[in-house]
Every structure is written in C-alpha cells, then in structure tokens.
Structure 1
Amino acid sequence: MTQTDGAARRTGRPAPAAPAGVPVDEPARPDRIRRPGDALRFLSSVTGLALVMLLVSIAQQTAHGLQTDITEGTAHAPRVLLSLATLVSGFGVLAVPVAYAAERLFHKDGKRVAIALLAAIIALALTIAVDDWVHAAAPGGALDELIWGGSRTPLVRVDITPVIAFVSAVGMAGRPRWQAAVWSMIALAALTGLTASSVSVAALAATYFLGRAIGHGTLYAVGIPNPRPPGTAVVAALARLGLRPTRAAALPGTSPERRRYGVAVAHPPGTAPADPTGAALPPGERQLDVAVLDRDTQTAGLLYRIWRLIRFREATPDRALRSLRRSLERESLMSYAVAAAGVPTPRLVGTCEVGTEAALLAYAHVPGRPLADLADDEITDELLAAAWRRLRRLQAARLAHRRLEGAALRVDDAGEVSLVDLDAGEIAAGDLSLRLDVAQLLTTLALRAGAERAVRTAAAELGEEALAAVVPLLQRVALSRATRQALRHDKELLTRIREQIVRLEPEVDLAPIRLERFRPGTIVSIVALSIAAYIVIPQVSNIDVGHLISTARWWWVAAGGAAAALTYVAAALMLMGFVPERLPLGRTVAVQVAASFVKLVAPAAVGGVAINTRYLQKAGVRPGPAVAGVGASQLTGMVTHILLLVVFGFVTGSTGTATKDLAPSRTVVVILLAVAVTAAVALTIPRIRRLVTTRLGSMFSGVLPRLIDVLQSPRKLATGLGGTLLLTVAFVICLDASIRAFGGSLPLTTVAVVFLTANALGSAAPTPGGLGAVEGALTLALTISGLTAETATSAVLLFRLLTLWLPVLPGWAAFAFLQRKEAI
C-alpha cells in the first residue's frame, strides 16, 4: 500500500489516476528474460536429488525402516478411507493444475502455461525413460536393491513428476489458495502410494527434486515473459503518490539489481519546489531520480552474497536473500536515518509498489557527478575533507554505508559531497562495520588522490587514533568487489596506506584481524582430501595386511628404505648447489627431513619451497637471493624432470629389434601432445595467461642471475645437478624395490616413467603431499604397465609408506630441533 492509497482511504477521495500521454524514453524491453532465481532453484534441486541418492545408498536400512513404519502405520486405517483418498488424489492431482491453467488462460497468460506444459512433457518423457532404463538394466539387481529396496517400485513417480514440473514452471507466487490445493493433492497422492507400497520414500523425494529441477530448468532455458513493469507503469505509480510526471527517461548505467529513471514532475500551481533542484528544467518542474526494484532481480548475485556470508566474520551478518518488501523498507529506513544524521543525501520523496513484480523509490534529484568521474585535478584536499566529514557524521549516528566506492560519493559544482546508493546500509551498526567503512573510504580516496593525501585528510577529520584502529582491517577481503578489482592495478596501495598511518601512530598494532572464517584454499584441500580418501581407502580395504606382511621380501623393503633416506641427502645437495653461500650438509639434510613433516599440512609444491627459503634466510642469506636460490633449484628440477620424462619415454617406447630404433611410445606422444594442446589453449585466455605469468614471475624472479652465478662455479654446478639427478634416481630405486618386495618386476625405464608422471601429478595436486593424486596415478600406471592390481596397490602403499608416512615422526623431530636452534 502506498502513502497516497492510505490517504485516499482516510479522506474518501480516490487516488490520482495515471496521467495519459506522458512520454517515456527507454530502450525496448525484451519479450523474454532468464531469471537468476530459476537457475539457482534448478541447481538446488539437482543438488537435492544427488543428496537423496547419496543418503539412500549409505542409509539403506533407515530408508527401509521408514518405509516399513509408514506401511504398518497406515495398515489400520479404514479401507474405505484409503480408497476414497486414492480416488480423490488420482483425480485431483491432474484436475487442480488443469483448472489453474484454464484460469491463467482466461487472464491471457497463455505463454506461461505453454512453458509449464513443455516442462510437464519433458518430465513425463524423462521419467518413463529413466524407469524403463533402471528396470531393463538391473531388474531386481544391485541398483534396485541398493536404492529402492528391490521392491521393483518405480524409480520416480510417472504421475506426479510432470505435475510438480508443471507447478514449478507455471508460477503460483501470490496465489496461496491454489498452492495449497495443488500441493495437497500431490501430498495425498504420495501418501496413498506409500500405503499401497507402490513407491518408496526415496522415490518420492527423488520425484520431488526431479520435477522441480525440470520445471525451473525449463523456465531458465526457455525464458519467461518479461514481468518487469515498463516506464509507463512507473509513471503511473508516481501519479498514485500524488506527483504529476510530465516526462521520463531511463538513465544509463543501470545495475542488474535495479533500473533507474529520471522523471520530470510538475509543481501544483502557486507552489515552489520543496528542494533546490531542477534549475535546468522549465519553470514549474523539478526532477526525480527513481530507482525501480524488480522482484526477479532480487536473486542477482545471490551466490556471491551467500559465499561472503559463510566465509567472512561480520558483527551483524546480513541476509543473503531479501524479499522485495524488505529491500524497499531497508533502503527507505537508511535514507531517512542518513538525512536525520545531517548527512547530505537525496531526499526520499516516496515509495510505492509497481504492480506485484516491482517497487520504486523516488528521490529528489541532486545535481553532480560521481567521484569516480572527476578528473584528478578536481579532487582537492577540501573535497577529501568534505568526504571525511560526511563519514564522521555517519559514524556518530552509528550508521554504516557498507559500499563507499567512487560511485557512492556525488560531488556538485560547489564541491559539496552527497552520499548515494544506500541500499546496502546498516543502522545501529557495530564497531566492526564502522571501522570497515573507514577502511573502504580510505582505499577509495587513496585510489584517486594517493595514500598520503587520503591519510592526511582523514587524520585531520577523524583523528589519528581512529585511523590506527583501521590498520588491521586494511585487507583486500574487507573491501568491496569493485575496489578489489581496482587494486589489481596498484597492488601495493594498501601497504602504502599502512605506512602512512604508522608514521602518524608508530605504536599501532599491525597484526591483521582475521575476517575470514576459512580461506578458499581450505575448501579446496578438504574436497581434495575427500577425493583422495575415496581413492585410497577402497585400495587399502581390499588388501589382506597379514598376508601382505608374511609374503613381503624384506630385503627389498630395506633397500627401498635406504633409497628413500638417500632422497634427503640428494635434496640437500640440490639446494646447496644453487646457493653461492656455504651451507653445512648435516643441517641442510635435517631441513629436508623437516620438510617431510611440512608436506602433510601443505601441498607438495609449496611446503618444501617455504621451509627452504626460511632456512636460507636464517642462515644469513638475504631474502631476495634466498628466494632466487630456491627458485633456481626448483626451476632446474622442473626442467630436469621434463627432460628425463621425455628421455625415458623414448627408451620405454623403443622397439626390440636389433636396430634399437628409439621411436617414442605412442602413448607417451599422445600424452605429451594432449598436455601441450591443453596448455596452449589455456594460455590463450588472458586471465589465465596473466595468472601464470604473475605466479611464475614471483616464483622465479631473480633466478636467471642466480643461475649465472652457479655456472661460474663448476663445483656448485656439479653439486646442484648431481643432487637433482640423484633425487630422481633414489625415488625410482625406492619404487622399483617396493615392486620387487611383492614379487613384481618391471623394466627400470618403465618404473622411471611411472614415477616421473605420478610425481608431476602429485606436485600439481592441492592436497598435502599430493595425497590421493600420487596413489591413484601410480596404481593406474603400474597396472597398465603389466602388474596385477594387488601387486601394484601393495607396491604403491609401501612406496608411500617409505617416502611420505614413515618420515613424518623424524620430520617432526627435525622441525622442532631446527626451530629450537632458530635455524628455520
């Protein structure tokens, strides 16, 4: 209900009618749109279907027990009542949707009904195909027994799934009676199916999610008739507010969440404007800036908001999804609160719903340009001070803007600053939200005026203590998305801001506040470890450990252990060869042993680099040369690894003829070509190319000068290259000994190819120590090479035991010893 509607009820006079013939200049509206909400509902339904399959497969007895309880519970119901319920549900589950479709056709909504019928047809065809496939593929077999209890019941209900798809696609929002009638019939049909044991609980759950997925998937694929009200409807809504629009035009720069219109309205005769705007308009007119909130755009950016809500710690967490009414009320309340705090902001003239699919907020137009559009010479210290005064008033009133970007600060010709875009604001804000506002505005102004000017003007208005409290929050994750993107072009800006504040307050606490509940890498590691466990646990569970121990050839186990120990000496020599400074062999070996412990808490390609760099710095090597030395050893190891893989691949693929034609193995060639093509295609994408260039540049910066230094010392070069080759040889010997410990045998060149391939995969895997990736790759490669599955699995587990698990305890001891000696 609008303010004018309420006044009309009190006075008995009708609300003003929409003015006729008001020109509206706006782009052509698309006939059909795809709503983000339909895509999200489709994904959630598919996820629900997958969870049903998973839960039933791991909770088979629970599903069977629930089915039995329902059957026994309804067995005592009167037979007449059950028959009547079956008759009513069988008729109503089709009759009610048909009646609703007829009602929609009567209201000329035939396009939506046609889309819903298409979804129902797709659901019908799919359910018939799925049921026929299941019973044909495994009638009474493992699939039938595991998921549906072997009862030969349908996988999904053919009679209900199309109805659910139809209801999901036809749209019943705002029709509670129709919704109640349709879902009551569907629930009754499901209940009668359970009582007759013609369907399982799991099948009903799968039916629901499948029907919803098909309905919303069809809506998103086909699109729906555009429900967004046109500009003429916006003008008519403004008329109901008691305004008199004379013309309107859509404003450029409309965001996905809202549309904006500039509307000229006429003053009643003999009155003056309520605000000093509209100087460029004809006499008797003023301009309004109208923001239109469309219901179908409320889910825009929902996944991003959910991600931030889950990932970040906030004093007052916001809802990821807000209704149209809540969004309207929140922005209105924030606008009134900001105006009451004495902060210049466009005056809210009125709010109104535009039909059932949108709402509007009408603001008095404030002339000016966004801060982001100003030239550099226009951003004066007086302008920066004015922006800080606006923030100071917000902070005094406990108001948080939450998005103080360049577009949120509007500057007029006199240099006055107004705050706009209040839709994300927060009243009664906590200390954390207020400090985040300061951090955001500091970064926004520093992007335009530099760190020194931004900090200096802020200190003059807010005080040095307020700035000192913001230093721990100067993190990329604390800033808005647009600001983080801008910081990509000036990655050191936050550091310069901190330095400027520290000059004012030398005693400031520089330790950052942890704003993240978890980092994205944590999620990747958890998922990767889950996959690794899924791969490794079945391998271990199928092995008879007692038989394994009794049949193992222990002299080969000892040989493998000796080769595994030799890898630490080789890694130490490899590092020592690429550092001009003299390093003690014993302590360097201890560092490599300690790295075996670190590998369990970091990916294999990261843990060793970090601990070696730390060791070199503690040994007196400057940070730059330390990073360059480790980078040189890593680069040499990578190049050597690739060359050895190619060489052994050629040798492995050579024919057995007397000519010893060293033609490469066809498999090796195919793999190398596939990797090369994939890398080439990936590097054509600018974002991936920049990422690879940045990562390699940061990893190997200064490597070339360090390699030149090493080349000038033959002894260092021999040590580094010798350690690199010895490292690979030791690992290959360890894997070969592990294979021979269980009676297997492969050519040494084949073992080398297997190890080099698996080690490359393990280095790229994000799991600690390459867990899962190495085991899977080694087992698969050894099996393809001719070993039995049992021998390959046993050899891989022994190899990983010698190289990954057994060194953990000595690694922890070495790590603690080196820390106590302050060597790392």
Structure 2
Amino acid sequence: MRAAVRRDAHGRRRGARAGARRDARAGARAGAAVTPAAVPVDEPAQPDRIRRSSDAIRFAASVVGLAAVMLLVSIAQQTTHGLQTDIAQGTAHAPRLLLSLATLVSSFGVLAVPVAFAIERLLRKDGTRVAIALLAAVIAFGITVGLDDLVVRAAPGGVLDSLIWGGSATAPVHTDIAPVIAFVSAVGMAGRLRWQAATWTLIGVAALTGLTASYASVAALAATYFLGTAIGHGTLYAVGTPNPRPSGAAVMATLDRLGLRAAKAARLDEPAEGAEEARRYGVVLGSGPAAGHGVRPPARHGGWDVEVHVLDRDQQTAGLLYRVWRLLRLRSATTGRALRSLRRSLEQESLMAYAVDAAGVRTPRLLGTSEVGTEAALLAYEHVPGRRLADVPDKEITDALLADVWRQFRALQAARLAHRRLQDGAVLVGEDGRAYVTDLRAGEIAAGDLALRLDLAQLLTTLALRTDAERAVRTAAGVLGEEALAAAVPLLQRVALSRETRAALRDDRELLTRIREQIVRLKPETEVAPIRLERFRPRTVISIVALSIAAYIVIPQVASLDLRTMAATASWHWVVAALGGAALTYLAAALMLMGFVPERLPLGRTVLAQLAASFVKLVAPAAVGGVAVNTRYLQRSGVRPGPAVASVGASQLVGLVTHLLLLVLFGFLTGSSGKATQDLAPSRTIVIAVLATGLVAGLALTVPRVRREATSRLRSMFSGVVPRLVDVLQSPKKLTTGMGGTLLLTVGFVLCLDASIRAFGGSLPVTSVVVVFLTANALGSAAPTPGGLGAVEGALTLALTISGLSAETATSAVLLYRLLTLWLPVLPGWAAFAYLQRKEAL
C-alpha cells in the first residue's frame, strides 16, 4: 500500500513538473505569467498528445469530398471537360508576362511560406507539431507520386485517368501542392489569419498556373485539395496533436486574476478521452480575494470553496456526429446547435447560470468567468458540498426530496428556462438534504412550450428510473398539478429523451408506458397520442437506402435482358397466366400469415405487407426480409412483440416442414431413379461440406457455454412457437386458412414457373416442375444473397436443362419467372412499403 502511495505521489509530481512548461506557455498566451510560487494542483499528468475528434471529422469529410469528385468525373466527364475548356480559353487571352510572373511567384512562395511558418513554430518551441506536419507532407508526396507515375500508367482508362483532361493534362493530382496542403492542414494555422491568407493565396495561384499550363484539370485540383486535407488531418489524428489544454496551474493563475486566489486545488473528475463533460477542479481559497477585484468570495462550507469548470476548445466537437444526427432527425424546435465555438459555449452557460439564479432556482452561484489562453475557458462556481442524484442510494431518495426537485423544476418552468439535460447527474443533493440544479451548459432561455414539455418528460423518466413510475408521477402532481403532467404524456417517447436515458430504458422497456398510465389515471381525459418530434425516422432512411440498392441491382439485371427477343418469341397468353400465378402467391402468403395469428387481420392490408416484403427481399436474404416485415406488421397491428415473433416463427416452421414433405413426395412421384431427381442429388462436395458443418457444430456443442447459449435460444424459440401452433390447432378455421395458404403459395409459384416454360414452347411434367421449384427455392432461401440472387437462377436453369429443356428455353423461362416474381414487384412493393409506413402499419 505504501509503495502504491509513493508511486502515485511520484506520478502526480512528475505530471506537475511536465505541466509546468505548458503552464508557462499557456500563461504567456493568456497575458500573465505563472509566478514561481505556483498553486499546488493535485491532478493526474496530462498526456503529451491527444486525438481530437475534430481531426477525425475533417478527415472523414475530406474522404467524402474526394469520393464525390471521383463520382463526378466518372459520370459527368463532358461537363468537367467543358469547364476545363472554358478556363483554358479564358486564360489564353491573359498577358504572358503576367502568367509567367504568377508562375514564378507561386513556384517559390508555395514552399517558402510554409517553411517560414515552420521556422516560426520551431522558434516558439512547437517542433512536435512541425514534425507531424512534415510527416503528413511526406505521405502526401509519396501517394501523389504513386498515383501519377504508377497507378495511372498501370491502369489507363480508369477513374483516376478520367481526372486527366482530354489527354493534355499530365497528372490526376497536383504533385506540387498536395504535400503543401497536407502540411498546412496538419501544422495548425488556426487563429493566425495572416499566415493562412498568405499560404492559401499562393496555393490558389499555383493551382491557377497549373490550369493555364494544362498540368492538371479542375477535377484534379479538387481531388488534390481533398486528398491533401485528408492526409493532413488523418496523420494528425493517427499520431496525435500536441496537447494544447492548459494544466491546473494555468487555470489557477487565471482564477487569481478574477480575484479568487487559490491556496490549493485538485481535479475532481476522472479524465476521459473524448468525453463531453468539462474538467472540474475543487479549489480552497487563501486568506482573501486579490485586492482591487471586488469579487465577493463564496461562503465557507467546509472542504472546497470554489468549483471550477474548464471548457477545452478541442472538446467542443466531442459528440458532434451524434448532435448533427439529432439536429437532422428531430424538429428544429427541439434541438440546439450541433456545434458551438468556445466563446459561445462560455457565454451560453454563463447566461443560463445567471438566469437560473435570478429565477430563484437553487443552484451553485457563478462567481466569474474567463478565457484561459486561447485554448480553454473557465467558469468558477461556489462549491456546494453534496452528491449527485446518481450517487444517492435508493433508500435515501425520499418523497420530500422528490418534491423539492419538482419545486426547483417548477421555478425553471415559470421563468421559461429549458435545461435540456435533466438527468440524475444534473441534480445535486446537498449535505443539507436540499436539491440543487447543475450542469447548465445545454440550457436555453426564453424557451418554447415544446422545449419545456420535453424537460418535463425527461425529468419524469429520470426520477421514475431511480424510484418508480407511481412515485415520480405522484410527487410531480403534488407540486405541478395534474394539468401540467398531462402535457407531458404525448412527449413520453424514447426519441425525446437523452442518449443516456434511452440506454437506461433498455432494461425497463415498459417504464414509459407505466408513466403514461399513471398520469392518465390522475386525469383520464389526457391526450395520449404522441407528438411527431422527428423529421424522419430511421426506417425512412432504411427505406431510401433499400430503394437505392434495389435500383442499383435491378437496373443492370433488367438491362441485360433481351426483352425484344423474349417479347417476339413468347406466347402472351402463357405470360399472362404466369403473371396470374405470381400474383396468387401474395394472396397465399397473406392467408398463410393470417392462419397462424389468433388475432383478426385485414386481408387487404396483409396482402400489401407481403407485397412490401417482396421489396425488402432485394436488400436482405430471402429468409430474413419477409420475417422482419411480417413481425413488424403484426406488432403494428396490435399483436404484442412476443406473440408476433411466435406467430411468424410458427408460419415459417410449418412452411419449412411442408416444403420438405412436398419435396420428398414429388421426388418419389417423379421416380427415384429418374433423371430429374438423380441428377439433382447433392454432389460429393456438398456432402463433405454438410458433414464438416455437422462435425464443427458437434465440437462446438461440447463447449458448455456454447451449449447453454444454443439451448437457451432453441428453448426461447420453441417456447413461443409451440403454444402458437397449439392455439391454431384448436381453431379449425385458422388451421384451414394457414395450411391452405401454405399449399396455395407453392401452387402459385409452380403455376408461374410452368407457364413461363410453356410461354417459350417448352413442356415438362407437373411433378418435375414441382421438384425443380422446390429444390431451387430451398437453395434461394439458404443463400445469403438478397432475394437468392444467383443461387435461384443457377439452380433453376441447371435443373430445367437436366429435366430435358433446351438451354435457350430454360434460360428464357427462368428470366421470365424471375422477372415476374422478383423484379416486377419491386416498384409496387416499394409503394406498398411506403403506404404502410405512412399508415403506421410498418
């Protein structure tokens, strides 16, 4: 123990010594030097380098920009070539002397200015950043040379070659300026406007001279810019940037200038890379405030006197992608800005602190604010000893404490102040047992009704998670009244709550329902319909992506068909019959599902759900897409999640058993020695693969953990499916509907395939067609490709050829069959999918 204490003390002293050098630089930037008698700050050593999320975001944005340029030159070559031609013709009239002078200046200046900036940084002892920037420049140079000299020559006519305009340009990227852009992106010129202006001006001139000399095209210059910035920010993120955060000693020096002279201080929070929370320091003040500042010192509460929150500039982008997603997804009235500058964050929290205090809400008093150099800012609060509500044991959360929390919340609402983060970490329970509101960084003054009601929904959920729904609602009603609680019911949705609260709700998915029920009991006439908070829902994005993927798959497939020849040779009355068989399958699938659901389902909407499933098949394996759509449809139709999964599982299980029985039956009828079944027998490779899979599965089941997991999954599946089957067996009508739909589904597909064969003059016994369909359908269901692509076509063509059809007839029949059962339903399937979404049926 003593050795551990000595090691910890040594680590803290080493961290303090390592931070002293940063303190001097931070103090110089802040306009004040740290005195020799620096305030002792007990804090862990800060890392020498950090990875900033802003660098990762800029890297990703540059990669996206580069991909967009590549896409543009691949699909709009004439447009880019025309733009290049216009630029070349326009610069042809410029004076040659001016162009030569610009070329001379840019050739030297584009390198001279970054070199001068690097020297200036070295003189200021910032060599690490310069070294990282040089590494980025070297990487950029190597990549651009490789693209220019190796890739394009090895693969002429590719996408990179498309960047070369009309053959007159010599490189797809500008080798001279790509390393400079990478260097500038990595070296960090933020806040140094003169250096930025000089550097980017010369880079622009160099790009212009490259255009006039046909060294690179417009698209190549755009690709050069995005490639250079991607390499610069990617290198900076991979290696890490020198830590710009001021240490605790620099923070205490800034605090002293506010008139709050610290005697000692310590870090209160645990350092966490990438966290959105501000650094917190506890400070014990000296004998009195610094003379001449006039800041009223806080009252002595024992322990710390002041709690300092430090906002680091590099942390302002933490969680940016999530905030952007929320901003895009939710209505603008419910979200704040996704990105705020350091100054704006400081002003917003300060304004909110003063407004909350003026409203009479119990909160730590804000004593002062200040910037700490150029990379951070601080807010000094009066320290209130106590514990976060998250740290208070359940038995200590009394109704009196809950009522006090609701009284503070009522004062916030009366002043129209929205907190936006009313989680259990935002409520402090003081040593006197009273509640304090903290964590005001996301607050909003003059808030609208929707924001205030969202705060109410959030606090109700937070307190219900710590206690229960009944206590949270009862104590809130005693302070706010039943009318106020009724306004929160439509907003008790997962999407309206914070990310941490949504994660906590995974363990209690019915909590929001219980809160609504408690409020409705108090006020039965409460409106319970949820308010639409989302601009779009995740399933809308999935629908768009699915349609895009479907179009990407369908268009090449349809384009490869010789539709003119097929139309000329096909018998159209058989084509219509095949279309009728394909349409029959959707009615059969609807009846099959309805038969295994004891609840009553509308036939028309159930048929539309099966049509929507045909659209989903193009972006998911055939055995997965239909199950997901049907399960979702049953849940939206009022069937609970457990029975919904069990019903779909029961229908799938019966369908599988029926499929196997029909395959055995018609295989026997066709003749076990007949060619149609003999040649369709599994090959030696398939037998070996099946045996190997069985061996691996057997060995895996010898592991106790694997065996328990498999047993648990099988038990959970059959525990729901078997009771569902028992319910169906007790209802002759449901049993007839389900089994009839299962058989009718096979009949519809067989009719479609047989009519497709006859449409091109072929003919096979019905038993052979049934065996061919059942075999190909089994392969398609097992294939991991969307809709069984490839597996079904290959199996059908091979089986029909083996059964006696010519290769031409078999291929044409399979193409027509797949056109009617897979490709043609895509558009109506998407329309049905969108309609059911709009009607809240999916």
TM over 0.5, yes or no?
yes
Change (3 A) 1:569 1:337: closer
- Distance in 1, matches of 2:179 and 2:120, equals 19
Deviation at 1:722, TM superposition (A): 7.0
Select the residue among 522, 525, 529 that pairs with 2:540: 522
Change (3 A) 1:521 1:84: same
- Distance in 2, matches of 1:445 and 1:344, equals 18
Can you list the C-alpha shifts for 1:381-406, whole angstroms capped at 9, x where unaligned?
Answer: 21111111111111111110000000
Is 1:41 the counterpart of 2:19? The answer is no
Amino acid at match of 1:532: A
Deviation at 1:213, TM superposition (A): 0.5
Change (3 A) 1:677 1:452: farther
Select the residue among 304, 314, 318 that pairs with 1:300: 318
Cross-structure match for 1:801? 820
Can you list the C-alpha shifts for 1:482-502, whole angstroms capped at 9, x where unaligned?
Answer: 111111111111111111111
Cross-structure match for 2:519? 501
Select the residue among 116, 120, 124 that pairs with 1:107: 124
Moved more, 14-23 or 413-422: 14-23
Is 1:432 the counterpart of 2:450? The answer is yes
Cross-structure match for 2:145? 128
Cross-structure match for 1:5? none
Select the residue among 183, 194, 198 that pairs with 1:177: 194
Moved more, 751-760 or 707-716: 707-716
- Distance in 2, matches of 1:598 and 1:79, equals 65
- Distance in 1, matches of 2:167 and 2:661, equals 56
Contact 1:112 1:224 in 2 (8 A): yes
- Distance in 1, matches of 2:795 and 2:235, equals 43
Change (3 A) 1:693 1:103: farther
Change (3 A) 1:78 1:440: same
Deviation at 1:658, TM superposition (A): 13
Contact 1:19 1:244 in 2 (8 A): no
Cross-structure match for 2:461? 443
Cross-structure match for 1:472? 490
Contact 1:39 1:217 in 2 (8 A): yes
Is 1:266 the counterpart of 2:283? The answer is no
Contact 1:594 1:812 in 2 (8 A): no
Contact 1:570 1:727 in 2 (8 A): yes
Deviation at 1:567, TM superposition (A): 3.2
Deviation at 1:130, TM superposition (A): 1.3
Amino acid at match of 1:756: A
- Distance in 2, matches of 1:610 and 1:389, equals 42
Moved more, 556-565 or 126-135: 556-565
Contact 1:409 1:420 in 2 (8 A): yes
Change (3 A) 1:32 1:18: same
Contact 1:648 1:752 in 2 (8 A): no
- Distance in 2, matches of 1:354 and 1:437, equals 32
- Distance in 2, matches of 1:810 and 1:412, equals 60
Moved more, 123-132 or 297-306: 123-132
Is 1:83 the counterpart of 2:100? The answer is yes
Contact 1:16 1:240 in 2 (8 A): no
Deviation at 1:240, TM superposition (A): 2.1
Change (3 A) 1:591 1:343: closer
Deviation at 1:577, TM superposition (A): 6.0
Cross-structure match for 1:400? 418
- Distance in 2, matches of 1:409 and 1:94, equals 55
Can you list the C-alpha shifts for 1:125-144, whole angstroms capped at 9, x where unaligned?
Answer: 11111122443234467863
Deviation at 1:161, TM superposition (A): 0.7
Can you list the C-alpha shifts for 1:291-350, whole angstroms capped at 9, x where unaligned?
Answer: 111111111100000000000113164221111111111111111111111111111111
Contact 2:386 2:431 in 1 (8 A): yes
SS at match of 1:350: strand
Cross-structure match for 1:119? 136
SS at match of 1:517: coil
Is 1:605 the counterpart of 2:630? The answer is no
User: 1:208-247 maps to which residues of 2 (within 5 A)?
Assistant: 208-247=225-264
Change (3 A) 1:590 1:461: closer
* Unpaired segments ≥5 residues, structure 1: 1-13, 766-772, 817-823
Contact 2:59 2:233 in 1 (8 A): yes
Select the residue among 277, 280, 284 that pairs with 2:302: 280
Can you list the C-alpha shifts for 1:67-103, whole angstroms capped at 9, x where unaligned?
Answer: 1111111111110000000111111111111111111
Contact 2:144 2:175 in 1 (8 A): yes
Contact 2:129 2:187 in 1 (8 A): yes
Deviation at 1:266, TM superposition (A): 1.3
Contact 1:97 1:167 in 2 (8 A): yes
- Distance in 1, matches of 2:115 and 2:640, equals 79
- Distance in 1, matches of 2:159 and 2:431, equals 77
Contact 1:33 1:223 in 2 (8 A): yes
CA RMSD of aligned residues (A): 4.5
Cross-structure match for 2:218? 201
- Distance in 2, matches of 1:121 and 1:56, equals 27
Cross-structure match for 1:371? 389
- Distance in 2, matches of 1:73 and 1:721, equals 76
Cross-structure match for 2:559? 541
Contact 1:117 1:166 in 2 (8 A): yes
Select the residue among 731, 740, 751 that pairs with 2:749: 731
- Distance in 1, matches of 2:180 and 2:394, equals 61
Moved more, 205-214 or 799-808: 799-808
Aligned length: 772
Contact 1:471 1:510 in 2 (8 A): yes
Change (3 A) 1:273 1:117: closer
Deviation at 1:564, TM superposition (A): 2.9
User: 1:457-468 maps to which residues of 2 (within 5 A)?
Assistant: 457-468=475-486
Can you list the C-alpha shifts for 1:741-791, whole angstroms capped at 9, x where unaligned?
Answer: 4589998666544433445669x96xxxxxxx4567655766898998998
Change (3 A) 1:92 1:610: closer
- Distance in 1, matches of 2:636 and 2:490, equals 25
Amino acid at match of 2:226: F
Amino acid at match of 2:627: A
* Unpaired segments ≥5 residues, structure 2: 1-30, 617-624, 836-841
SS at match of 2:425: helix
Change (3 A) 1:105 1:512: same
Deviation at 1:470, TM superposition (A): 0.9
Is 1:26 the counterpart of 2:43? The answer is yes
SS at match of 1:406: coil
Can you list the C-alpha shifts for 1:539-594, whole angstroms capped at 9, x where unaligned?
Answer: 2234443332112244653553454355357546645764689x9xxx99877645
* TM-score of the superposed pair, with normalisation by structure 1: 0.82
SS at match of 1:315: helix
Change (3 A) 1:575 1:408: closer
SS at match of 2:458: helix
Cross-structure match for 2:777? 755
SS at match of 1:404: coil
- Distance in 2, matches of 1:551 and 1:738, equals 12
SS at match of 1:293: strand
- Distance in 1, matches of 2:695 and 2:367, equals 62
Change (3 A) 1:48 1:542: same
Can you list the C-alpha shifts for 1:106-165, whole angstroms capped at 9, x where unaligned?
Answer: 111111111111111111111111122443234467863587444353111111111111
SS at match of 1:514: coil
- Distance in 2, matches of 1:538 and 1:231, equals 62
Deviation at 1:601, TM superposition (A): 7.8
Change (3 A) 1:343 1:790: farther
Change (3 A) 1:379 1:135: closer
- Distance in 1, matches of 2:147 and 2:192, equals 33
Deviation at 1:60, TM superposition (A): 2.0
Contact 2:164 2:216 in 1 (8 A): no
Deviation at 1:18, TM superposition (A): 4.2
- Distance in 2, matches of 1:269 and 1:355, equals 22
